Amino acid sequence: MQLSSIMCRAQEAQQRARAASTTLDNVRTLATIAAAAWHKEALAADRRERRRPPPVLDLQMVWDDRTFSENPDRGQA
């Protein structure tokens, strides 16, 4: 599973908040390292998302999917 840039940035912010709120040096150090790692992963996710082609929306296909139902009584009641 590939991580989204939004999720990576949320984790980065959480680690930065943890580093800012703690009084323990070792927790602050590890949280800062984790935030830097999440930042690096967010940049990689941005590059992946830019390379991904935009989804093709075929309106006729969407309409056909909405009108087809295995239940013939759908919409009759």
Torsion sign, CA atoms 5, 49, 45, 39: negative
Segment holding 72, helix H or strand E: none
Largest CA distance in the chain: 67
pLDDT score for 47: 96
The pLDDT of residue 77 is above 60: no
> Which pLDDT does position 54 carry in this prediction?
76
**Residue 64 pLDDT exceeds 80:** no
In angstroms, rounded to a whole number, what is the distance separating the alpha carbons of residues 54 and 5? 16
Cα 50 from chain centre: 14
Residue 61's identity, in one-letter code, is M
Domain ranges of the chain: 5-67
pLDDT in tens, 1-46: 789 999 999 999 999 999 999 999 999 999 999 999 999 999 999 9
